[in-house]
Structure 1
Amino acid sequence: MLVTGKTFAKSAIFTPTNTNHPVKTNFIKAIACMVTLLVMAACSANKYAITNHTNAFSKGADISWLPQMEATGFKFRNAQGIEEDFFKILKDKGINTIRLRTWVNPSADKASGHCSKEETVAMALRAKKWGMRIMIDFHYSDTWADPGKQKKPKAWEGHDFSTLLNDVYTYTFGVMTALQKAGINPEWVQVGNETPGGMIYPEGSINNWPQLAQLINKGYDAIKAVSPQSKVILHLDQGNNNERFRWWFDKATTQKAKYDVIGLSYYPYWLKGSPDYTLSINDLAKNLNDMAARYNKEVMVVEVGGESAKPQNTYDMLVAVQQKVKLVPNNKGLGVLYWEPQGANSWSHYALSAWGDDGKPTKAMDAFLVK
């Protein structure tokens, strides 16, 4: 319970009759000081409180395409075919977490633009209103950053490394501050998106790990300066590839890169020679367990997806992935997030959504209802 001056005065056992008495006066001053400190501490704790935090297993979705889909007239319908608020449909399917990518100076392109600071804040507010937990994904680019490309923002081109470090800190701090001013302190924040080769090329390439670690740490420091309780994620693709993860995180450890959670992508569809998830799911489990034990970190599948044309198979895969994450020892498996489940093929031309062209979620989304 918060102790305030009023409630304390009403409940105080000692009521002075002579406030000029030096002992009594000093006692009153000490009590007043203690109350002030308690109030300040409570206000400070509230400032940094994680938005909609819960200890429940995270069942989430990256839905950064949503504003564009709505703007182009795509209608979302529930399983009964009735048009409904998209967030309600997600919530009814068991989703409790929303992931949002953010780009520095994006274009207005329908599929490869948007996701500005302002749009990220607006989307986070919508998610908060529906009681969702929030993850922010800093790409540190004006568009897609992934294993194939990590192009630095145009505004940062030509900057020397010292200036680039300041760019990362200032930009990250600015987005986090804008979120906080809107009442949002994300539970998780990614520094970089799918960074097996590094980020912000060429300076942040794995060819120069000391510089990559410095860039990561600037992002980490900016996040913690605004929201100390937010957990920072470093994120690689091919979540079933233990050799890839060990090499990268061993380097991160040696170079003293700072982070709290190891994030993994898992897309059987893209794995060479093994699009059938049953051929790689046990490798995913082994890697999850190894990462948690080897680095003493929490782990999370921050991106997953399966073919929208094979909803039963995607459903089975999602159930299996959630089970594997939940089985990570010591409750270090935090959750599973689907990447753009609502990105129906007719709109996105993306084959791995969990939504039909009729506007309804496919059976795959029912996997998040499984206990």
Structure 2
Amino acid sequence: MKTFLLASCCPPLWAHSIGLWLLLFLSSLTASAQTFAKGADTGWLQQMEANNYYFYNDQGIRQDCFQILKDKGINSIRLRVWVNPSMVDWVNGHCSPAEVVTMATRAKNMGFRLMIDFHYSDSWADPGQQNKPAAWAGHSFTQLQADVYDHTASVLTALKNNGVTPEWVQVGNEIPNGMLWPEGRTTNFGQLTQLLNKGYDAVKAVSPTSKVVIHLDKGNDNARFRSFFDQLTANGGKYDVIGMSYYPFWLNQDYSVSISSLQYNLNDMASRYGKEVIVAEVGGDAVAAPQNVYDMLVAVQNAVYAVPNGKGLGVFYWEPEGYRSFSGYQLSAWSNDGKPTAAMNAFLVTPTAPAPPASGTNVLANPGFEANNAATQTPTGWTSWANTTANYAADKTEAGGQASTYRLTHWLGSAYQVSTYQVKTGLPNGSYTLRAWVQSSGGQTACQLYAKNFGGAEKNVNLPVTSTWAQVQITGIQVTNGQCEIGLWSDANANNWCNFDNVELFSTTVTAIRATAAPAARTPYPNPATDRLTLSLPTGATEATATVYSLTGKLMLRQSVQAAAATVDVSRLTAGFYQVRVEGKGYLEVQKFVKQ
């Protein structure tokens, strides 16, 4: 979703009994890494240039915007196409078929891969507006199908005649509510599917190697996507790729709140429908908060890259070059001085799959329900579900934990159904074990520890009736789609209760998704460090960027290092465990160290 405001517009970690451990992996430039799309939607660029808006690199040298994007790691360009747009409105017009052919040819000649985004409108099409082109306004539904086919085929034929073969073609733009209203609304999904299939057929007739993308907004909303694509599948919809928009800014929240939901949805779409996935639009307020947007872009790229079996295709920033003095658009990634913001450096980072957890390492958040340091209705890291609003009261933490202060309890004075669960995404495929300490009064219709949505049939175990703590476990959870939902489920009568504590989900055998483990670990020294940390670069490496994160993922510092003096000043870090990402041309290593 895009909104336009036009021209007015606890003790230190090292103190705990955690053994010092080192983790390192090398993410080489394999074929998969080379084909990962790092994209920019640049529909405004032609008009910006026509109105004497210039672009400058980090050194202040005027350059072709495409060249600056390329130097920032962008390898793909996305262009929207409108049917018969205004040719005088800079911001809400242009992007005509002829202009798109011109820009696509230019991008292709500079080595970019192409995505063409058909809006099937004369201007913006998005969840709140899917207006038919004026020339199609009085057409019957039969004629609308022909319009979609003919327009799609015509644009792709013009591209083909200029030697351009788009790698991806979007049939519709952000269409959770359908397109070409009213005939193509989702309230008549059969007709919507027929329109989409006409677009698909036209793409394959002219450009059979192009992948057809169906694109919705709010990529973190799994229910939204399941509802749409379940109906599309039931109606015989044809497509190759599921596209998502992801804008935490428009969700009024930091990306850290919803990035795990995006990862879950990416994995679920790839697994549920057997399709590839792509983040076709992303953006943030890179002028006001460049570091936060940088971190968000790295996280989104990693989330897409981590989709199992190489089904995550890439990430496109929407109109990074459209700085505000031209467009009034708040989420561009360019300053009004014509230079890219530091957020664009995120596309220079090599995306990485999550490192496999060591065998026996618990991957759950807040497994002992101690994070809130108080009894609470909504324990950190966990999600609750109940069959009625009133029954959410059955789910809470309270004192009396198995080995520490707090535990999770299900209880209510009336009959209730409630579940407390976590969805873990980005898991390396392999075998996992789930175990927990439990107590139960008995008498429930069902009271179970469960694991599901991991690529196989649900596994569960009934809680034993016991007033003393007992440990139960589920073994052989074969994760094949990079995710797993685990939880406690109660379908209980009045005054039935159960308790739940110290929950663990850990790998027993792990297969990495994309990353390849390095043959031997290079160790930073001294370790523990006090003021300076010396890094070991791979043989032959001359320079690198060292980025230090806390173990919770917070960025602490970043600096360039040379092989001759690869040292980092860590004197200002507080004592504890840290991760340092050592990244250079063709390699990325993750090393762990202790600051004392």
CA shift for structure 1 position 209 = 0.5
**CA distance in 1 between partners of 2:97 and 2:196 (Å):** 20
Distance in 1 (alpha carbons) for counterparts of 2:295 and 2:325: 24
Corresponding residue for residue 268 of structure 2: 290
Q: Tell me the distance in 2 between the aligned counterparts of 1:275 and 1:80.
A: 33
Residue 176 of structure 2 corresponds to: 196
Deviation at 1:216, TM superposition (A): 0.2
For 2:66, give the aligned amino acid. Answer: F
Give deviations 1:284-328, integer Å, cap 9, x for gaps.
Answer: 000000000000000000000000221111100000000000100
Specify the alignment match of 1:169 in structure 2: 149
Aligned partner of 1:213 in structure 2 is 193
Q: Is 2:322 aligned against 1:343?
A: yes
Q: Give the 3-state SS of the residue equivalent to 2:152 in structure 1.
A: helix
The question of 1:180 aligning with 2:157 is answered no
Task: Give deviations 1:245-292, integer Å, cap 9, x for gaps.
Answer: 000000000011100000000000011xx4200000000000000000
Note if 1:117 corresponds to 2:97.
Answer: yes
> Is 1:311 the counterpart of 2:290 in the alignment?
yes
Among 104, 125, 135, the alignment partner of 2:83 is 104
Q: How does 1:1-371 map onto structure 2 within 5 Å? A: 56-108=35-87, 109-271=89-251, 274-308=252-286, 309-371=288-350
Distance 2:145 2:105 in 1: 29
Deviation at 1:174, TM superposition (A): 0.4
* 2:316 counterpart letter in structure 1: L
Give the AA of the match of 2:290.
P
Unmatched runs of 5 consecutive residues or more in structure 1: 1-53
- How far apart are 1:56 and its partner, in Å? 1.2
> Hey, which of these two has a bigger chunk of helix by percent?
1
Per-residue deviation, 1:347: 1.2
What amino acid is the match of 1:159?
A: H
CA deviations 1:34-55 (Å, max 9, x no partner) are xxxxxxxxxxxxxxxxxxxx96
**2:46, 2:70 → 1: CA distance?**
18
Q: Distance in 2 between matches of 1:159 and 1:343?
A: 35
d(CA) in 2 for partners of 1:111, 1:351: 14
Q: Which has the larger radius of gyration?
A: 2
Pair 1:55–1:221, CA change in 2 (3 A): farther
Q: Distance in 2 between matches of 1:167 and 1:226?
A: 16
Aligned equivalents of 2:273, 2:340: Cα separation in 1: 37
TM-score by length of 2: 0.53
Write the distance in 2 (CA, Å) between the matches of 1:212 and 1:55.
Answer: 36
Higher relative contact order (CA 8 A, sep 6+): 1
Residues 131-184 of structure 1: CA deviation (Å, up to 9, x unaligned): 000000000000000001000000001111111111111111100100000101
1-structure distance, mates of 2:64, 2:134: 36
Q: Distance in 2 between matches of 1:56 and 1:224?
A: 22
CA distance in 2, matches of 1:232, 1:156: 23
Counterparts of 1:56 and 1:169, CA distance in 2: 29
Letter in 2 for 1:192: G
State the alpha-carbon separation in 1 of the partners of residues 152 and 325 from structure 2: 34
Q: Secondary structure at the match of 1:270?
A: helix
SS in 2 for 1:280: helix
Aligned-residue Cα RMSD (Å) equals 1.1
* Percent identity of paired positions between Structure 1 and Structure 2: 64
> Secondary structure in 2 aligned to 1:200?
coil
> How far 1:129 moved relative to its partner?
1.2
CA distance in 1, matches of 2:346, 2:169: 25
- TM (normalized to structure 1)? 0.84
| Distance in 1 between residues matched to 2:34 and 2:227, nearest whole Å | 31
**Cα offsets for 1:80-109 (capped at 9, x unmatched):** 111011111011000000000000000021
Q: CA deviation at 1:110?
A: 0.6
Gaps of at least 5 residues in structure 2 are 1-32, 351-596
Letter matched to residue 279 of structure 2: V
State the number of aligned residues. 317
Q: What is the alpha-carbon distance in structure 1 between the residues aligned to residue 317 and residue 183 of structure 2?
A: 31
**Moved beyond 2 Å, runs of 4+:** none
For residues 220 and 367 of structure 1, the distance between their equivalents in structure 2, rounded to whole angstroms, comes to 33
Q: Report the residue type matching 2:280 in the other structure.
A: V
Q: Secondary structure at the match of 1:337?
A: strand
* Alignment partners' CA distance in 2, 1:160 and 1:128: 37
**Equivalent AA in structure 1 for residue 44 of structure 2:** W
Q: Secondary structure at the match of 1:89?
A: helix
Give the 3-state SS of the residue equivalent to 2:261 in structure 1. helix
Residue identity in the other structure for 2:307? V
Q: Which amino acid aligns with 1:366?
A: N
For the residues of structure 2 that align with 1:100 and 1:82, how far apart are their CA atoms?
A: 26
* Alignment-derived partner of residue 36 in structure 1: none
Q: SS of 2:35's equivalent?
A: coil
Q: For the residues of structure 2 that align with 1:210 and 1:161, how far apart are their CA atoms?
A: 12
